[in-house]
Chain A
Amino acid sequence: MPEKLSQKLLRVLRSFPAALSSSAGKPGAAIPGGPFGGTNVRRTFVKNLRLTLTRLTAARDVFETASEGNPRSIGLWVGAVLVTFVLLAPLGINDYHQSFLLQVFMVIALAQAWNLISGMTGYVSFGHAAFFGVGAYAGALFLTWGFPWWLAVIKGAGIAALLAVPLGFLTLRLRGPYFAIAMLGLNEVGRVVATLWVDVTRGGTGLTLSPKLLPSLDVKYFTMFALALGATLLVAWVHRSRFGLELRAIREDEEAAEMVGVNTTLNKVIAFVLSAVIPGAVGAVYVMYTSYINPASAFEHARNIEMIVVVLFGGSGTVWGPIIGAGTVMILRELLWAQFPAAHLAALGVLLLVVVLYLPGGLISILRDRQQKRPDARPGESP
């Protein structure tokens, strides 16, 4: 854009001091000559300092509200009932329903993984299904190479983690939208690599696992359940721990978090790696469930969509949100649109729009508001 116009705008801008201060930069942004420069510079410094203080207060508020009481005892009871049901279920239901529950566990585990990085830190990952694909391929390969199934799952998780460490260090330097843009292609990259690396992945033909190698449905059911439970407990622990508070401080204001002494890079990378381990393991179990994998099914774009929508629909950054979201979405899928996969995804898109526009805190915020009646609490921000 030409200079003339911007100068004209600047002149107008100068005659509105209020507008100027509201558009002032971030703290510490460009103080030429240090804090002891001219009056103008000093004024900027003071303004920046004041801004920093407000941000620090905001960060402290996050720390404090986060440690307030939540309906934990109710959560524990509901959790205990659910776990008992799941453990006893294989005795009384048929294979179809058991498979359905297995898929629900899968979605819960994946959603919790996404919740860990995106719900907690606000770094929205559009490419997390890539770790699922990597885990699925690793699991399939190690199984065919003669490893026992549980070792294949562990290796799938480990390889996803190994990939996530350098990837996290590289991409998490990017702030908000730039991170999202960089992650958007990750799943596609995974698919291209899986298609081209024919020696190992057999390209588009895919890998078929012989039934002899596979564990029984019960084993897969309980493994997937263990992953969902483990992921949930991990999120619950992170939620209560100092680590989780630091992650949420990053979400609210990264600069301020840095200023109160949070090691933002390390925290983000740890959260990222943890959130990659889970899909890695889930992918490995999933491949044992389907006994076949190809680039398109391992790196399925729909899986990304499902992760994101389930978490946001249930309530991102919370422990129960992804579970509620996964349950609701899976039941809707089963009852309403199982026959039309495209309609299912289109409905997820509509759901995402509705949640983003009208229910930023997700379903769980409705429950919570009714329970606590705290009009000042912004939905989705306190646990």
Chain B
Amino acid sequence: MELLEPDILLQLLIGGLLAGMLYALLACGLNLVFGVMRVINLAHAELMLVGAFGAYVLFTIFGLHPLVSLLLIVPVLFIAGYYLQSVLIERVVERPMLTSLLATYGLSIILINVGLLLFSADFKSVPVLQGSFLIGELTVSKPRVTAGVISLLLTVGVYLFLERSHLGKAIRAVSEHAQVAAICGIDVRKIRMLTFGMAAAMAGAAGVMLSVIYSFWPGSGIDFIQKCFAIIIIGGMGNFLGALYGGILLGVVEAFVGGFASTQWAEAVAYLLLVTVLLIRPTGLKGVARA
């Protein structure tokens, strides 16, 4: 098998790493929300698609390069997420988890179908950044490198923000224990709004990156949310860095399965991984055991 040649393995590895970085950006946002308010946001992938379609619209109508529209879409989605939290999610945060699950499910249904009304069910893409880099024998496509690197930078940036800044510390405090954080004088409601805003912005950024490398339609979300669940269950629910590692791991595993078996099996990897982990450890591998 020529598949086992080191060049091809390296090629698969790089492709997997780059795809994984995008997954990580998306999953970290989902995990951030879960960590801070114990809400599983089923509409997270649809927020990503809002970003992707935003990039598509800005590109087709105004000819804006996706890297430019990133600067527009991120703040817009931050604000949208911020108010979405105050209007909708805030009402279900304190209720049983299934309530918030159903509420965000409703939100995702609305977003998908409004998307279908606006953009139809055709696949869209933003064809910029064509071509690839040649490094020795390896070919690495330019859009994938751009998307992967920017995703990684954003994820690490958010991580540093959480670790280093005062506000980030407050977010972590709420995530560890909301009541105590409130006692310490943290405005928990504000922090939640901020967190959801950040997560939505991360999803939007992931969407813009997605638009550069994949084609997408309003129903694409289900594949991605499935991957996110696999990632955060592997990496630990509520664990930000865990989602980063889990995302990269999933990307690499998918790339190898895709290379050796078929791409359709690669699509199934995430679900199989998710179910396997859940069956071995019904509460996930790491992270907040019961909360």
Binding site for B on A (CB under 8 A): 1-2, 5-6, 9, 12-13, 16, 19, 22-23, 25-26, 122, 124, 126, 170, 173-178, 180-182, 184-185, 188-189, 192, 196, 301, 305, 308, 312, 340, 342-343, 345-346, 348-353, 356-357, 360
Q: Are A356 and B99 in contact (CB under 8 A)?
A: yes
Residues in A neighbouring B116, C-beta threshold 8 A: 342
Task: Known pairs A19-B179, A181-B274; list 7 more (Cβ under 8 Å).
Answer: A5-B173, A12-B183, A176-B97, A177-B97, A181-B40, A343-B113, A346-B114
Question: Which of A184, A349, A351, A352 touches B226 (beta carbons < 8 Å)?
Answer: A184
Which residue of B has the minimal Cβ distance to A123? B98
Q: Are B98 and A176 in contact (CB under 8 A)?
A: yes
Q: Are B219 and A16 in contact (CB under 8 A)?
A: no
Residues in A neighbouring B180, C-beta threshold 8 A: 9, 12-13, 16, 19
Give the docked Cα–Cα distance between A19 and B177 (Å).
10
Q: Are B110 and A353 in contact (CB under 8 A)?
A: yes
Task: Enumerate the 8 nearest inter-chain pairs by beta-carbon distance, A residue then B residue, closest first.
Answer: A349-B109, A352-B106, A346-B113, A349-B110, A342-B116, A353-B106, A345-B113, A342-B113
Q: Are B184 and A352 in contact (CB under 8 A)?
A: no
A-B contact list, 27 entries, CB within 8 Å: A1-B175, A5-B176, A9-B177, A12-B184, A22-B179, A23-B177, A23-B179, A26-B290, A174-B282, A177-B98, A178-B283, A178-B284, A184-B225, A184-B226, A185-B274, A188-B222, A189-B271, A301-B219, A312-B102, A345-B109, A345-B112, A346-B113, A349-B113, A351-B106, A353-B88, A353-B103, A357-B92
Residues in A neighbouring B98, C-beta threshold 8 A: 122, 124, 176-177, 180
A177, A308, A343: most-surrounded residue (chain B CB, <10 A): A177
Residues in A neighbouring B91, C-beta threshold 8 A: 357
Q: Are B105 and A182 in contact (CB under 8 A)?
A: no
B107 within 8 Å of A (CB atoms): yes
Q: Are B102 and A352 in contact (CB under 8 A)?
A: yes
Residues in B neighbouring A357, C-beta threshold 8 A: 88, 91-92, 103
Q: Are A346 and B110 in contact (CB under 8 A)?
A: yes
Residues in B neighbouring A312, C-beta threshold 8 A: 102
B130 within 8 Å of A (CB atoms): no
Which B residues, 237 to 283, have Cβ-Cβ distances below 8 Å to chain A?
239, 264, 267-268, 271, 274-275, 278-279, 282-283
